[in-house]
C-alpha cells in the first residue's frame, strides 16, 4: 500500500470550508471543490515513485492486473473524488458508451481541439457515477412525472410558465418532457430572464418544495437552467446514502460533502446553471426523456460487515467499512487495483496510519490489511474494479 498525494480543484462552486474541515486544516478562503484520487491525466494522484498515471502506464499489468487490463485497457478505469458543493453545479447529463465513441470520433474528424470550450466529447468513454453523502447532501436527479411538475409549476402563479404547465398536461410523458426542455433552452434569452426573475420571487415567497429552486435561481439569475431544474426531482441524502447516475439522466449537485466515484471520463453535456458551452441539439439527443424516481441507494452489508453500494457500473465498485479500534485486522487483498480513503477516525493500513482525507493506492495483488487505529471507530471507503 502506497500513500497518495492528491490535488484539490478550486472550482467556483466549491465549498470554502468542507474539505478543509475534513482534512483538519485551515480554510484558505478560496473554493475547494473536489479532491481527485486516481490516474486521470488532468490531476493525477502522486505516489513516492511518481504520478499515478505514469506509474500505471509504465507497467499496466503489474499495477492493474491482467483481468482489468483485458477488460478496460491499460488505464485505471475509475476516478474517486471528495466533492464539496457550496453552490449548485451545472445541470448536466452524460452520454452512453456508444454515444461517447461516436461523438468523440465526429469531433476529432471535425478538427475541434481537445481543450476547445465548445468540445462535448473529450474522450471515448461514458461516465456512470455514484455520489455517497458524508453530510446532508442536496441534489436534483431525473425527471419528475410531468403531471406532478405541471402542478408544481402552476402553484407558482407565474403567467409566463402557464404554457409549460399546459404542455406537461397535454402530451405523453416523453413528448411533454422533450417539448418543455426544448422550449426552455431555445426561448428568447430576455424573455427567459424575465420569467426566471418572476419564478424566483414566487419561489422565495412560497418556500417549502420551492425553496431548493429559489436557492438555485439566486446563484444563477436569469439562467434558463433554473426553469429546466423545475422538471427534476429534488432529493436530500443523509450521510451514508447515495445516488447512482447512469447515461442520459439529467442531474445537478446542489450542496454538501460526499465521496464520488465514476468511470474515468470528462464527457459532460450541460443543460444550464453554467456560463460554459451548452450544445442544445446534442444535449437533446443524449437526454433520456422518461420520468424516474430519485432512488436513494443504501449500502448492503456482506457477511464480514463491508457495506457495498451496488450499481451496474463495470468500471467501479464502492464500499464502506467502519472499523472498531479493537477489531481484528481485515484483509482486503484483491486481484485488481484499489484506492482506500479514510473519512473519519484513524485507520492502520499496513505500516501506514490514515486520518480523515488520507488515502492509499493498492496495486493489483498487493497485500492490503487494515484495522482501526484510533480511540473510536474509523471509516474507510474502498474503490475497486468489480470482478
Burial of 123 (0-12, 13-18, 19+ CB in 10 A): middle
**Which of 48, 124, 121, 34 lies closest to 79 in space, CA to CA?**
34
Is residue 25 within 8 A of residue 374, CB to CB? The reply is no
Based on the residue annotation, tell me whether 270 is a catalytic residue of this protein.
yes
Question: How far is residue 33 CA from its own chain's centroid?
Answer: 12
Catalytic entry in 119, 122, 144, 270? 270
C-alpha grid cell, residue 3: 500513500
Cα–Cα distance list, 43 to 7, 9, 51, 53, 81 (Å): 6, 9, 9, 9, 11
Is residue 250 within 8 A of residue 93, CB to CB? The reply is yes
Task: Return the C-alpha torsion angle 289, 292, 297, 303, nearest 10.
Answer: -100
**Which of 281, 315, 258, 279 lies closest to 128 in space, CA to CA?**
315
CA-based max dimension of the chain: 66
Q: State in Å, rounded, how far the first CA of the chain is from the last one.
A: 20
Report the run of H or E that residue 340 belongs to, with start and end: strand 338-344
Radius of gyration of the chain (CA): 22
* Residues acting as catalytic residues: 270
Amino acid at each position: 500500500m502506497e500513500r497518495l498525494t492528491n490535488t484539490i480543484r478550486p472550482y467556483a462552486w466549491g465549498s470554502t470550508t468542507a474539505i478543509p474541515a475534513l482534512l483538519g486544516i485551515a480554510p484558505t478562503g478560496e473554493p475547494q471543490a473536489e479532491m481527485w484520487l486516481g490516474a486521470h491525466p488532468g490531476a493525477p494522484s502522486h505516489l513516492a515513485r511518481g504520478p499515478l498515471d505514469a506509474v500505471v502506464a509504465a507497467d499496466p499489468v503489474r499495477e492493474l492486473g491482467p483481468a482489468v487490463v483485458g477488460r478496460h485497457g491499460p488505464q485505471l478505469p475509475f476516478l474517486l473524488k471528495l466533492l464539496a458543493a457550496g453552490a449548485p453545479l451545472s445541470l448536466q447529463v452524460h452520454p452512453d458508451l456508444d454515444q461517447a465513441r461516436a461523438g468523440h470520433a465526429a469531433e476529432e474528424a471535425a478538427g475541434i481541439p481537445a481543450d476547445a470550450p465548445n468540445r462535448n466529447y473529450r474522450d471515448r468513454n461514458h461516465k456512470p457515477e455514484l455520489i455517497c453523502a458524508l453530510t446532508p447532501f442536496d441534489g436534483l436527479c431525473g425527471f419528475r412525472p410531468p403531471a406532478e411538475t405541471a402542478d408544481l409549476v402552476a402553484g407558482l402563479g407565474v403567467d409566463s410558465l402557464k404554457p409549460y404547465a399546459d404542455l406537461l398536461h397535454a402530451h405523453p410523458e416523453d413528448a411533454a418532457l422533450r417539448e418543455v426542455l426544448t422550449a426552455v433552452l431555445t426561448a428568447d434569452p430576455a424573455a427567459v430572464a424575465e420569467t426566471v426573475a418572476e419564478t424566483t420571487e414566487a419561489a422565495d415567497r412560497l418556500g417549502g418544495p420551492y425553496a431548493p429552486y429559489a436557492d438555485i435561481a439566486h446563484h444563477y439569475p436569469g439562467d434558463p437552467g433554473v426553469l429546466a431544474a423545475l422538471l427534476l426531482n429534488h432529493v436530500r441524502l443523509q450521510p451514508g446514502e447515495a445516488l447512482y447516475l447512469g447515461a442520459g439522466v439529467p442531474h445537478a449537485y446542489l450542496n454538501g460533502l460526499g465521496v464520488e466515484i465514476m468511470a474515468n471520463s470528462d464527457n459532460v453535456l450541460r443543460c444550464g446553471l453554467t456560463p460554459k458551452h451548452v450544445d442544445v441539439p446534442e444535449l437533446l439527443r443524449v437526454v433520456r426523456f422518461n420520468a424516474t424516481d430519485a432512488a436513494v441507494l443504501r449500502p448492503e452489508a456482506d457477511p464480514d460487515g463491508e457495506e457495498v453500494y451496488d450499481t451496474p457500473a463495470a468500471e467501479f465498485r464502492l464500499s464502506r467499512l467502519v472499523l472498531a479500534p479493537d477489531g481484528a485486522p481485515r484483509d482486503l487483498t484483491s486481484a485488481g487495483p484499489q484506492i482506500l480513503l479514510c473519512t473519519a477516525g484513524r485507520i492502520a493500513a499496513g505500516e501506514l496510519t490514515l486520518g480523515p482525507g488520507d488515502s492509499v493506492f493498492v496495486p493489483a495483488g498487493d497485500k492490503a490489511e487494515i484495522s482501526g487505529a484510533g480511540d473510536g471507530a474509523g471509516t474507510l471507503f474502498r474503490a475497486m474494479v468489480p470482478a
